[in-house]
Structure 1
Amino acid sequence: MSVRDEIHSQIEGALADATFPIRTPEDLLAAMPAGADTTCRSGDVEVTAGEAGALLTPGDFPFTSAKQVADVLVERAGL
């Protein structure tokens, strides 16, 4: 599995129990198991939810699924 696929899968997993739609960055962080400290790792790549959240814009919201969140974050991170 590629780094991109692994991180994508971890983001989806972290949001598996989240209630959608998620309308704000604060709600997105609150939906993560460890909030801003939730960490996804693959090989030498490590990204926290707080770091990933900096890649989002107000226009990205609302999110309607964990897959949508993961798609946007791995794309913006250039993975």
Structure 2
Amino acid sequence: MGVKEEIHAQIVGALAGASFPLATPEELLSAFPDGAETTCKSGDVELKAGDAGGVLTPDDFPFTSAKDVADVIVERAGL
């Protein structure tokens, strides 16, 4: 499994208990177990949930599943 796939899986796992849809960046961050400090790691790549704000736009919301969140973040983060 590559870095992209590992980070994707970790994001999906971190959001497993979230109640969707998530309509705002604040709702998304609060859905992560440790909020903005929730960290996904693969090798020497580290991505914090708080960094997602740099790649998400208001048009991305609402998110309807953890997979949707992971798809967008992983794609835009350039992993």
The one-letter amino acid paired with 1:3 is V
Q: Corresponding residue for 2:10?
A: 10
Q: Corresponding residue for 1:42?
A: 42
For structure 1, the residue ranges without an aligned partner over 5 or more in a row are none
The one-letter amino acid paired with 1:45 is V
Give distance in 1, aligned partners of 2:43 and 2:52.
17
For structure 2, the residue ranges without an aligned partner over 5 or more in a row are none
Q: Corresponding residue for 1:24?
A: 24
Give distance in 2, aligned partners of 1:52 and 1:68.
13
TM-score (norm 1): 0.98
Runs of 4+ in structure 1 over 4 Å off: none
Q: Identity over the aligned pairs, expressed in percent? A: 71
Q: Which moved more, 1:49-58 or 1:18-27?
A: 49-58
Q: Corresponding residue for 1:53?
A: 53
